Amino acid sequence: MSNRSAIVLTGIGASGGVTVGSAFLLDRRRLRTPRYHLPPGQEEAELARLRAALERSDQQLAEMKEKVEALQGDEHTLILEAHRLMLQDPAFITEVRRLIEVEHVNAEWAVRRSARRIRNAFGKISDEYFRERKQDVDFVADRVARNLMGETVDAEPGEVPHGAIVVARDLSPADAAVLLQPGRIAGLVTDRGTKTSHTAIVAHARGIPAVVGVVKASELVAGGDELAMDGDRGVVVLRPTPEQVRRFKAARRKAQAVERTLEEERLLPTVTADGHELRLLANIEFEEEVGAVERVGAQGIGLYRTEFLYLGRRTLPTEEEHVHAYRSVLSSMKGLPVTIRTLDVGGDKVPLEPRGRRKYEPNPALGLRAIRYCMRHTAVFHTQLRALLRASVHGKLRIMFPMISGLTEVRDAKAALEQAKEELRTEGVPFDEEVEIGVMIELPSAALMADRIAQEVDFFSIGTNDLIQYSLAIDRQNRDVAYLYRPLHLAILRMLQFAVEAAHAHGKRVSICGEMAGEPHYAMVLLGLGVDDLSMAPSSIPLMRRMVRAATLEAAQEMLREAMAFDTADEIERHVRGVMLDRFADVLGIGEELEDLLQQA
């Protein structure tokens, strides 16, 4: 194999880091599902076969969860529990049974058809994270189908050599929970997936370099092939030359040295060299992530998503379930601020009735979601607001309303909160009367109304992912237009600048909680804009802390002025990138050296 030339494969950098190792090919070829009609009178036997496969699938997931918890604690096992719930979801099971009983198709094919209908509904959700959950539907259906067919379902960790780079078409959450153990494998490459797929999230949380979405990687790579990969740039070199291997290994040594120093700085204040403080917060979804937040020295939680309480279940969460989830995180953070975002999905994902009937929207990205859904279904909203207020006595709570388009929604949401407060006062239930109220600035209309909105709330959190998407009218999942997603587009910078200045004019703090906040190349742009807080994945905080401490506010403002004098996103990005590489060559230059090397390949 060594006499074959190197091939550079590109994908999506899902978890940073440089590594070199031998490929281990995990066979996860797509299952060819048989399709046939049942002979007359065989429906009951087919339903019995289905029940057995569902029970076997549930048992496998329960055993997997127990095994992972014993080895690694309960972090990242909630997804396995969610898959168990999906096995019982009436929207899934009822349709499978109908296909068998009415259309007389075999159970394997009925499972596939039912899953396809549900995943299509997920595919219409605007939020990238929740849209990616359609993969979970596939994983659950695949497990049931494999059990029906007597196929191998889960990977055995013992079959993967230590230090190998795992290459697969995709990894199920069960495979990811077992295989992605720090120190066990060197890296991960998959044909499918995005930055928000479960595999990418687990790899990122565990510090394992990962490149996903490398089309046909599992077909091009053979077991034992040498690979060199850069998880930051989303690049994999198949059968690298000796010189490429030497350069990748040198880059890895430098990166590891940087990581050790970052760890030593975790308790240092995030203050620029000229004395300006910028608070670094963490984005989380589950309370199990609080441990990671503490390990990196985050100064609070800037975004706690609450949608997990509603998904994968047949009934709405009770007030007590809400209180339990919020209280746990607030107590764990020991007085540091915790910003909890109210429900941010639409009726297509929220169980509206005890029997699990759901409404599917043709275009949920622009439909009844987030604050719009809450103001339509006031009982759902009321339950969450009461729970938030009750939990507020256990820490420093900040409540945030998503997808605000104008003042009417702000006032309606505040009125609903006031109604909940009045109820609790009447009942004698304690809560924090001074709890802060904020809104997400993620729609162009909210950004342009920031000066008015700032007068009625305590803080802004700018969701740059949606703000960019809605402002530039692009779908990031559409490969034909994904190149237009430009965080440094002058229109975006102007909107950010206006929103920050409007908030500050009224003495209000501004946070950014989109992906932009954790991108190190944008650190000085955000500092120059005057943002008060940056909220990001916990693993991004150490590097961002280093960069803020090495920068000055004056230099950041000067760089922003120069950048905004350019006309196009290309010109602005080129300028910002150049400045950042000059200033932070010790941390950003490692990847640049590799890029030069790859361009020569």
- Altogether, the residues listed in the chain come to a count of 601
SS3 189: strand
Residue 302 is classified by DSSP as E
Distance (Å, rounded) from C-alpha 144 to C-alpha 50? 8
Q: Are strands 533-536 and 7-10 parallel, antiparallel or unpaired?
A: unpaired
Distance (Å, rounded) from C-alpha 124 to C-alpha 57? 28
> Edge-to-edge, what's the strand order for the sheet holding 235-238?
7-10, 235-238, 226-230, 18-26, 165-168, 187-190, 210-212, 12-15
- Where do the DSSP E strands lie in 99-171? 165-168
Distance (Å, rounded) from C-alpha 441 to C-alpha 128? 17
Name the one residue in this structure whose structure tokens are 């060819």. 32
CA distances from 302 to 114, 326, 487, 566 (A): 37, 14, 20, 32
Note whether 154 and 175 are within 8 A (CB). Answer: yes
Name the one residue in this structure whose structure tokens are 């206006």. 498
Distance (Å, rounded) from C-alpha 290 to C-alpha 338? 11
**Residues involved in catalysis:** 198, 513
Distance (Å, rounded) from C-alpha 319 to C-alpha 433? 19
Backbone angles phi, psi at 209, to 5 degrees: -55, 135
SS3 440: strand
Distance (Å, rounded) from C-alpha 96 to C-alpha 88? 11
Taking phi first (over 0 means left), then psi (-120 to 50 degrees means alpha), and beta for anything else, what does residue 525 get? Answer: alpha
Backbone angles phi, psi at 202, to 5 degrees: -65, -45
Which of 479, 4, 9 lies closest to 217 in space, CA to CA?
9
**What is the CB neighbour count within 10 angstroms for residue 405?**
16
Name the one residue in this structure whose structure tokens are 């996903």. 212
Cα-Cα-Cα-Cα dihedral sign, residues 328, 331, 336, 339: positive
Rg (CA), the chain: 25
Name the one residue in this structure whose structure tokens are 């329960």. 62
CA distances from 306 to 81, 108, 286, 352, 388 (A): 17, 34, 8, 17, 11
